[in-house]
Chain A
Amino acid sequence: MHCLPEATLLRVLSNRTSPPVPANRTERASQKKRRTPIALFAIPAAIIAVVVVVILVVSGGADIPIIGGGNGQDDEVPPFDFTVKKSLAVATVVDADTAALTAAAEQVGQEITPTIDDLFTNAFLDPTNWREGDYEEVFAAFASEALPAAQENVETLTLGVTAGDLFEDVEPDKGSLAFNVLFDPEAQPDTAVVTFHFAAIGERTDGTFVRLVSDGQFFLVDQGGWKITAFDVTRTDRKMQPLSPSPSASPSSS
């Protein structure tokens, strides 16, 4: 579509609505009334256009949520899986079949690992959770007796309820698990303790980067599905320097 320059447009509009100037002051005033609003709206429109153009130029075309517009944020959940380092069986009888228990402990580790993968993904990586500060899916991993304590410690166990104000993006760095599995005298798994190390890189809204680290242990008991019955978790966040010209694309550990 062909666009007229703004000055030309104003002139054209002005010409099109310009009758002979009346002698009567009242009539002149009434005619002014009809002419003035056009200028009043056209000038601000031009100012708005200039302001928007300036902002776009200054911001380098970054995502800008103009009134009512989409936020432009990427809600894709970054893929993440823990690496299982070891699974140790703990017997409660003297003459236990160590090899069989070790294999069973590895099996238990495999059963629990997806639960822990999901827990940390939901707690730190899923943007739809941390942008809203809603971690319902995280708490599903906890047994009823541990649930209230988990909810009270939401700021430590997750990215936090205000994470949406703090972070632009969070990408996983690395994670490792080690399992200790206690077997009852009938060689059935009773309690598993998973020792975890989780690290992620968070890009803050102010452009700085933070290394998010969560270390600790979960006690899990099979209650028709492995549930966390006890926990001991330490969260350590450390400021860090951006690592590449476009760090949000593929952050890596320091």
Chain B
Amino acid sequence: MTIAPRRRAALLATLLVAWVAGSVLGATRPEPASAAPLLQIEPAHAEFAPVLDGSEPIFVLVIGSDARPDQAVESQRADSLHILAINPARHKATLVGIPRDAFVDLAGQGQNKINTALFFGGPDLVVATVEQLTGLTFDYWVMTGFEGFTTMVDGVEGLVVDVPFAMDDPKSRAFFEPGVQRLSGNDALAFGRNRHDLPAGDFGRSENQGLLMVSALRQFKKEYSKDPSRMLIWVGSFLSNIQTSLPLDELMTLAFTGTAINQNAVTNVVLPGSTGMVGGLSVVNLNQTALEAISSDLAEDGLLKKKNVPPSPNASLVAESS
């Protein structure tokens, strides 16, 4: 089809007018609201933390020395011993308390109560002894004494703990009603030391010490979620009052990783055993079957299968209280 030159010229002129007018109008008239990009009015949140996410478990030996304020922490007895196993990928962790009177082979030092390993060889012997006992390899150890513990807790303005049952023990000065309460450093120490009014004695005490650690994790996460800079206060208070093999940068990474751990997915247990006497010493003979099952289970992924979770030594008190 051919277009007459006159019509072609008219068409071109019309198009020119339309083009110019359209451009000018398009540039000056606001787009209809429905066509405009939406403005972000709802709060938007962005976050990133360098958490570990590998499936390889991390093992930390937590050592509580019975050193009093004027004593060297590393040359007393380790009256509180816990294996902390973290599974970063699954955001879970396990705490395994070791009874202080467990009669074991101290690595290279003959048989004795496990709490004497610290006295005889410092934290290195404690680590070697627990590694020999369990077959686990520890990545780090951390250790504190009475004063360090209380100062550390006070440094984070106390620990909020759901005390599971009433306590009335003059020896440890543990006087608590059950329920959620904020414990000062001295209160938390009393809570963690009390064994005299617990039916399972040191087994129950060890479980309560684990409960303090879970409470600390819960509180740390809560404070971090409100104000991430609180992490520095926790790390500062922690490092100022402990001895550890953890370098600061790795501690920061673990702290970030801790923010991703579900505190309700932390299994808190105590190695089971029975009391006995060895050469006039009151000792605990660990249940070897349970020890092997728990150790091999932990080695796998840092977590315990339900079948390997031993009964709570404080179960009867918790049942009474509830």
Contact = CB atoms under 8 A, between A and B. Distances in A.
Interface string A157-186: 100101001100000000000001110110
A58 B20 CA distance: 16
Interface stretch (B30-38, B66-74, B89-97, B99-107): B30-38
Interface string A230-245: 1111111111000000
Contacts of B322: none
Contact of A41 (B9, B33, B43, B46): B9
A239 B61 CA distance: 54
Contacts of B239: 92-93, 185
B141 interface: no
B23 A94 contact: no
A155 interface: yes
Interface string B296-307: 000000000000
Contact of A206 (B30, B44, B49, B233): B30
21 contacts: A33-B6, A36-B9, A40-B13, A44-B14, A44-B16, A51-B20, A55-B25, A67-B20, A92-B236, A149-B46, A149-B48, A155-B40, A155-B44, A180-B229, A180-B233, A193-B232, A204-B39, A206-B36, A232-B228, A233-B47, A234-B43
Contacts of B33: 206
A191 interface: yes
B47 A231 contact: yes
A217 interface: yes
Size class of the contact patch on chain A: 35 or more
Contacts of B45: 156, 232-235
Interface of B: 5-6, 9-10, 13-14, 16-17, 19-21, 23-25, 27-28, 30-31, 33, 36-37, 39-41, 43-50, 151, 227-229, 231-233, 235-236, 239-241, 248-249, 252, 256
Q: What 7 A-B pairs come out closest when comparing CB atoms?
A: A153-B46, A149-B48, A92-B239, A156-B46, A90-B236, A193-B229, A44-B13
Given A193-B231, A235-B44, A64 B30 contact: no
Nearest to A166: B37
Given A190-B249, A233-B45, 6 more contacts: A52-B20, A207-B30, A230-B50, A230-B228, A231-B47, A238-B41
Interface string A193-216: 101000000001111001000001
A181 B229 CA distance: 9
B46 A48 contact: no
A153 B245 CA distance: 36
A90 B233 contact: yes
Nearest to B33: A206
Contacts of B231: 193
Contacts of B228: 193, 217, 219, 230, 232
A95 B113 CA distance: 34
Contacts of A43: 13
Contacts, number: 156
Contact of B39 (A52, A166, A184, A232): A166
A57 to B, nearest CB: 11
A208 to B, nearest CB: 9
Contacts of B19: 67
Contacts of A146: 48, 50
A90 B232 contact: yes
A104 B23 CA distance: 59
Contacts of B44: 155-156, 234-236
A94 B43 contact: no
Nearest to B229: A193
Nearest to B21: A51
Nearest to B40: A237
Contacts of B227: 195, 217
Contacts of B241: 94
B11 to A, nearest CB: 10
A66 interface: yes
B28 A55 contact: yes
